[in-house]
Structure 1
Amino acid sequence: MMRLKALLALLLCTMLAATGCGSGSTSPGGAPVRLLVFGAPEELAAYRTLVDAYSKARPGTDVQLVEASDRKDLLARLATSVAGGAPPDLFLMNYRFYGQFAAKDVVEPLDDRIAGSSAIDPGDYYPVAMDAFKWGGKQLCLPQNVSSLAVYYNRTLFQKYGVAEPKAGWTWNDMITTATAMTRDPAGRVIKGTESEGAALRPALYGLGVEPSIIRLAPFVWSNGGEIVDDPARPTRLTLDTPAAREALKNLVDLRLAYGVVPTDEDVEAEDDESRFANGRLAMVLSSRRATTTFRTITGFEWDVAPLPVYRGQVGVLHSDAYCMTRGSKNKDAAWKFLEFAIAEEGQKIIAATGRTVPSHIAVSTSAAFLGPAQPPRTAKVFLDAIPAVRALPTVSTWPEIEDATGGILENALYRGDKLDDVIRDLDEQTRPLFARGEHG
């Protein structure tokens, strides 16, 4: 049995070291620091830039990226490697998903290392991002970004059709009006509502792209004065049956069925929203800062960002990823040195310049590294203006399962038109057992 475990650990270690490893200097002696990440090609290029900069600044260091294909692949790789006794030294993960590993004591608390660091002062970082990675009163991970949901829009198309660009303070109804005005047939004529079902009038340009998910719905429920769970600190159920939440959910569903301004499920299967936007066939798309690295490859038109529309007040939903160290790391001191570099001012300036992040380091977020006008979006300050009103989703170990369970139900509501009462009932029934199994930070 011991020999089998050793062989399994060796195999997992070899797989982690060999799969998709892009950057890293080589140094004589000592194991490399292995950092597990995932992202679009442009995002991975940003992390390679960071690793290369660290290698140049610290000659003789060895940091190796282990690149997962997507979020599910990252979670599976981390779980498998931990079980096999060969985890990566560091992993980069969104706060919505790290709770399952925090609950299993996989993550190394960083409080003592932070206290002894001359490069990291917790007061230099946005509290909402730092707090999202606290578990049991301990700082388990250090956030690289404090992004929020924003509206990316094609300025070139807005100017072509003479439609007013979205601006701060616009409402949900303003967004529907704008999306309707930007939903066009191949001849450039406006298509309204269910007219788009006719084959001859099938939109060549849709007005809006939005993922039917809890993380997209949440800020609008909050903006309307509602809540998505009964207790944000220790949730036991979703609360989408309240009037405020029902209204926000109904309005999300109506984007497809009543107004026809978002692509159909067949359209999305053929071309996801971000690709459709980049190809000039989507006027607006709701996404976080991570889309910026991909959209900066666009050469055919000018684009920018605007804040989310509001109901009663401006509320955003936190998008934040952090570097976490595994308890099973055999290279903790070297891993900490890289983590310290990545999170401190120098490292955050490097990754911010790639477009990937809204820096969690306050001074970097207000510097030219982030706000500089050399590359789009030219109104990057939209992301900073959103921070005071940004809220985090619940930190519960079963949250990934909750998102997966709700995703399919919300997709059917948007694309098939399932009855609202049935949707809300199904969401509650499918998630209550998941909340009951969940552990909290």
Structure 2
Amino acid sequence: MIRRHRIRRPGPLIALGAVFALVLAACGGGGGDSSSGPTEITVWHGYQDTEGTVFKSLIEKYNNEHPDVEVSDLYSSNDLVLQKVLTAVRGDSAPDVAYMFGSWSPNIAQIPQLVDMSAEVAEPQWKWDDFYPGERAAATVGDKVVGVPALVDNLAIVYNKRLFADAGIAPPTADWTWDDFRSAAAKLTDPTKGQYGWLIPADGSEDTVWHYVPMLWEAGGDILSEDNERATFNSEAGVKALTLLQQMAVTDKSLYLDTTNENGPKLMNSGKVGMLVTGPWDLSSLPDIDYGVQVMPTFVGSAGGHQTISGPDNWVVFDNGDKRKQAAVDFVQWLSAPEQVKAFSLGTGDLPTRTSVAQDPAFVAQLNEGLPGSGVFVENLSNVQKARPTVEQYPAISEALGQAIVSVMLGEQEPKAALDSAAQTADTALAGK
């Protein structure tokens, strides 16, 4: 059985303006090419345990099939790789390929040695449209494509079947509305047992924002304007989404506010929480309950439909001379091809980054057999329609929005006032003031 070994949450949001100023000033050209023997390239990644084993097997396969190239890998913690890449670039020793969080795309786009993949992925053999829209959006900054999708995930409802049955509630369906969700959460809540209908991260971090944004999109709103010049999350849609959270937390008291952002799987596993909105990474942390998975609810009458959010990560290529650059591009193309995507997903339990793989019934059945419920997360990838804005100021925007959401759920502010205040902070950041 596939067992996930890490908790996957949105990547850290880092403001690195000062560091980039030093990097941009100090950068020179890429490293030289080897004149004889196979072209050697290095891949930095954060894979460990099962993922690390599967990834190394793919590299070995590539090297055996491509004797003119020698790919080596170097483990680097995903959380720290951006800083390490910046330091390496400054010292003219950048990796050829690095696994990097999609939330870093605006920062990555500024690195002079970045290989803009826009011309590459436009070639038919890449089948760029086979990647999900949210993945492509997270890899695109302006007219640059800064990377190729390496990982995709999403949020869905994970629920305790026994608690639903005990409360006389029918299991969630793909047609559920947020009204249905709220009603079920209220019925699942029992203060005498310390039992809640739903748990949400409430530390004001990007994880808090991650849970709110799909609701914002489903209500017909967005985080920023189309030109990314002003905040729009304080729209009528934004207020509607946050009002629901207020009603559940303050009025119904059916929402457990996890201010440490560490208790979700533990409380779910112990039967104290009826529902989580989480990703496939938490499924292996629920061995003690019979759980089900269903797509996110939507708002009645909304054109937004059943949307979800993803934090796609990317394979980023750096220019270390023509031969190494071409070898790196070729390796990433091979690694992200359907055959390798399928092999990696089945070996690790990660979701497939390509639609063609996700639409293979035999693949989905095999993946779901290894980790029950993962098949629904695969299907839910079709609801990944948008991505967070790829702007440098996003960390400041997320922080303001996260604090606003928490203040409302704690009963300290009203939704409209909290969002207006956060929007003002976001607009200031966007204006560079």
2:287 aligned residue: 299
Structure 1 position 280, deviation (Å): 4.4
**Which residue type is aligned with residue 43 of structure 2?**
R
Please give the alpha-carbon distance, in whole angstroms, between the structure 1 residues aligned to 2:86 and 2:161.
43
Structure 1 position 260, deviation (Å): 2.2
Matched, 1:67 2:76: yes
Structure 1 position 310, deviation (Å): 0.7
Match 1:377 to one of 364, 372, 381? 372
Match 1:164 to one of 152, 170, 187? 170
Please give the alpha-carbon distance, in whole angstroms, between the structure 2 residues aligned to 1:345 and 1:300.
35
Matched, 1:325 2:313: no
Structure 1 position 427, deviation (Å): 0.6
Question: Pairwise mapping of residues 191-270 of structure 1 onto structure 2 (< 5 A)?
Answer: 191=191, 201=192, 203=194, 205-212=195-202, 213-229=208-224, 231-232=225-226, 234-265=227-258, 268=260
2:277 aligned residue: 286
Please give the alpha-carbon distance, in whole angstroms, between the structure 1 residues aligned to 2:289 and 2:147.
38
1:95 aligned residue: 102
- Does the Cα contact within 8 Å between 1:97 and 1:399 map onto a contact in 2? no
Please give the alpha-carbon distance, in whole angstroms, between the structure 1 residues aligned to 2:184 and 2:165.
13
**Which residue type is aligned with residue 37 of structure 1?**
G
- Does the Cα contact within 8 Å between 2:221 and 2:238 map onto a contact in 1? yes
| Change beyond 3 A, Cα 1:55–1:386 | closer
| Change beyond 3 A, Cα 1:316–1:58 | same
For 1:271-290, what per-residue CA distance to the aligned partner results, in whole angstroms no more than 9, with x for missing partners? 3324433454432111234x
Structure 1 position 55, deviation (Å): 1.4
For 1:160-207, what per-residue CA distance to the aligned partner results, in whole angstroms no more than 9, with x for missing partners? 544321111111121111122223xxxxxx23xxxxxxxxx361x332
- Does the Cα contact within 8 Å between 1:96 and 1:400 map onto a contact in 2? no
1:34 aligned residue: 43
TM-score w.r.t. structure 1 length?
0.75
Structure 1 position 302, deviation (Å): 2.5
Alignment partner of 1:164: what SS?
coil
- Does the Cα contact within 8 Å between 1:152 and 1:285 map onto a contact in 2? yes
Alignment partner of 1:264: what SS?
strand
- Does the Cα contact within 8 Å between 1:221 and 1:244 map onto a contact in 2? yes
Gaps of 5+ in 1: 10-27, 184-189, 192-200
| Change beyond 3 A, Cα 1:154–1:376 | farther
- RMSD of Structure 2 on Structure 1 (CA): 3.4
- Does the Cα contact within 8 Å between 2:199 and 2:276 map onto a contact in 1? yes
Question: Pairwise mapping of residues 179-190 of structure 1 onto structure 2 (< 5 A)?
Answer: 179-183=185-189, 190=190
2:13 aligned residue: none
Structure 1 position 31, deviation (Å): 5.6
Alignment partner of 2:200: what SS?
coil
Alignment partner of 1:391: what SS?
coil
Matched, 1:141 2:127: no
Please give the alpha-carbon distance, in whole angstroms, between the structure 1 residues aligned to 2:293 and 2:335.
26
| Change beyond 3 A, Cα 1:410–1:107 | farther
Please give the alpha-carbon distance, in whole angstroms, between the structure 2 residues aligned to 1:50 and 1:369.
19
Please give the alpha-carbon distance, in whole angstroms, between the structure 2 residues aligned to 1:281 and 1:334.
52
Match 1:347 to one of 340, 352, 358? 340
Match 1:408 to one of 403, 409, 422? 403
1:77 aligned residue: 84
**Which residue type is aligned with residue 363 of structure 2?**
A
Alignment partner of 1:397: what SS?
coil
Q: How many residues align?
A: 384
| Change beyond 3 A, Cα 1:228–1:127 | closer
Structure 1 position 378, deviation (Å): 4.0
Structure 1 position 33, deviation (Å): 1.3
Identity percentage of aligned residues: 20
For 1:178-237, what per-residue CA distance to the aligned partner results, in whole angstroms no more than 9, with x for missing partners? 122223xxxxxx23xxxxxxxxx361x3321223533322222222233332x23x2222
For 1:113-156, what per-residue CA distance to the aligned partner results, in whole angstroms no more than 9, with x for missing partners? 446785x3324333442243233434321113454321122234
- Does the Cα contact within 8 Å between 1:47 and 1:351 map onto a contact in 2? no
